[in-house]
Structure 1
């Protein structure tokens, strides 16, 4: 597909004046920075076409993209921090669909958030980690009260999601990136975690709309605080999943500060065992994603032993929340 032709056609459907377009990256979406020439007015253009078929999902459907943008629009009217506000095209639509080479591609435009993309090194102080916990809690607090209709469709991060991760890892075994012995250990760990997840309730307090991709690269330090970007994988799941993701790039000795920050906004008991299971699943999901990328197979082979050790710890009933350090993932 000629993506250059693609984004040029999309640009024409928005009221941009002499825009300068810069390619950013291609991951779960293909993204471009669009700046009005002679001004600082900047936008983010997303073509909802993942880099591999392995990343294709509900989130790429037109109605799901529409739902994400509806959530962002609602969040922007409540948040005290900058939000990626959706920008309608010249027909007043939030989602723009075009056909290139007989393939329909959905696109969207968001207002750019000005600030500094954060890094792992930013989260080495009690204050910053606590602030992250509070930021996640404010988002969840809004989600608890967010009202949507029956047509609001987004991914769900429940049992089916877990099964899908294991299916992708099984493909890694067939490719011989993961050994039969390693996969057997993974299967046992997944069986344990799935069994525990089936026993969890989906209540107002525990389950709702989550970001589902909390990572330091999706956090922007602005003049008003930490803003979230990239809701492309957002959907319905346990609120604890976002907290678990935050813990993955936080030093283990500071994780209590993350929980304290969160609990200062949303009171209630935080289940450490559930956080550990979700941390494990999120690490596993990253490996599963890389299975479809041949250039990352060597990385998987080099790092899979650490994931297997994590499995063994879970299977033995060991506590990993205070033991596993910050996770270093491939770029």
Structure 2
């Protein structure tokens, strides 16, 4: 949680210290909403972790997508002509007008084939625009993430070996313009809002240069996590893949070079998620259910070669 004095400082910058500010969430509890006449969402950063030039490049990327017709959350100016508002030597924030819409309830009627298709179209469009940008935007390369420089000695030897093998496979892949570019990097169902048939994509903090197949795998992996039974989860994942790729191929038709790597990247995402949570979460503050979840992840990584068993074949118009 951010100290109240910092929140008060943000309200002073916004220009109305009487407004209510409350926590929305974020992985590090750093996203807040200000309930003004026009609600504002602010995301707070620590420059020791998130450098200003990285955030500036994220803003440039989202503005490029917005200017080319993608529904995305883009930042707003407050007082000065800068999107980055410094609070002290370490902290700064970005402000956004609150986007219309809500997170999708997986138990509602909205969680359906049409949504999965739309979700795929949104990602396909972003990947198509990434190909057009031809490396113009300075997002980080995937291998620059600090997770790849961390000590892995705490992990089970099997997990450590699988991690190292995955990295070798990714490094051996050919990053050409049809398969590799700027991806969202975390486009699960909590990172878009839905309103009257429209999706708005949010939170580009993990956007980076990586393989498009990884972005697709992330969507499949996290959507499938909504199904608790493992056999049903695998069936759902294959259905979701086909519906998602139908939408994706409408906007980015050259999918044959991409889809063959999706199952590999789903397995990698499962492994990556376990490593990420283990490295960055404070286990002392986790409850019993969360600890059990990590234990279950560890067991499936060690014992399974293919987590979801996606049949990586897609022919446009065949479903």
Q: CA RMSD in A?
A: 3.1
Is structure 2 residue 25 aligned with structure 1 residue 25?
A: yes
1:78 is aligned to: 68
Change (3 A) 1:147 1:266: closer
1:44 is aligned to: 41
1:65 is aligned to: 55
Change (3 A) 1:260 1:224: closer
CA displacement, residues 234-291 of structure 1 (integer Å, 9 cap, x when unaligned): 2221111211111111422312221222122212205445222322232223222332
Following the alignment from structure 1 to structure 2, what is the Cα–Cα distance between the partners of residues 169 and 287?
A: 12
Is structure 2 residue 194 aligned with structure 1 residue 221?
A: yes
1:320 is aligned to: 309
1:139 is aligned to: 126
Change (3 A) 1:300 1:167: farther
Is structure 2 residue 248 aligned with structure 1 residue 262?
A: yes
Aligned with residue 109 of structure 1, among 95, 101, 107: 95
Change (3 A) 1:306 1:104: closer
Give me the TM-score of the superposition, normalised by structure 2. Answer: 0.79
Give structure 2 stretches of 5+ with no counterpart. Answer: 225-235, 313-319
Is structure 2 residue 83 aligned with structure 1 residue 94?
A: yes
Following the alignment from structure 1 to structure 2, what is the Cα–Cα distance between the partners of residues 22 and 305?
A: 33
CA displacement, residues 181-207 of structure 1 (integer Å, 9 cap, x when unaligned): xx1111232233223212211111111
Following the alignment from structure 2 to structure 1, what is the Cα–Cα distance between the partners of residues 135 and 120?
A: 26
Aligned with residue 290 of structure 1, among 273, 277, 281: 277
2:4 is aligned to: 4
Following the alignment from structure 1 to structure 2, what is the Cα–Cα distance between the partners of residues 231 and 153?
A: 13
1:177 is aligned to: none
In the TM superposition, residue 125 of structure 1 has moved relative to its aligned partner by 3.2
In the TM superposition, residue 113 of structure 1 has moved relative to its aligned partner by 0.7
> Conserved in 1, the CA contact under 8 Å of 2:267 and 2:307?
no
Figure out how many residues of one structure are paired with residues of the other and give that number: 293
Change (3 A) 1:42 1:322: same
Following the alignment from structure 1 to structure 2, what is the Cα–Cα distance between the partners of residues 9 and 153?
A: 31
In the TM superposition, residue 72 of structure 1 has moved relative to its aligned partner by 1.9
The farther-off stretch of 239-248 and 298-307 is 298-307
Aligned with residue 154 of structure 1, among 117, 124, 139: 139
Following the alignment from structure 2 to structure 1, what is the Cα–Cα distance between the partners of residues 161 and 135?
A: 38
Aligned with residue 232 of structure 1, among 202, 205, 213: 205
Change (3 A) 1:113 1:124: closer
In the TM superposition, residue 145 of structure 1 has moved relative to its aligned partner by 2.5
Following the alignment from structure 2 to structure 1, what is the Cα–Cα distance between the partners of residues 135 and 262?
A: 27
Give structure 1 stretches of 5+ with no counterpart. Answer: 51-55, 174-182, 324-331
> Conserved in 2, the CA contact under 8 Å of 1:45 and 1:110?
yes
The farther-off stretch of 11-20 and 70-79 is 11-20
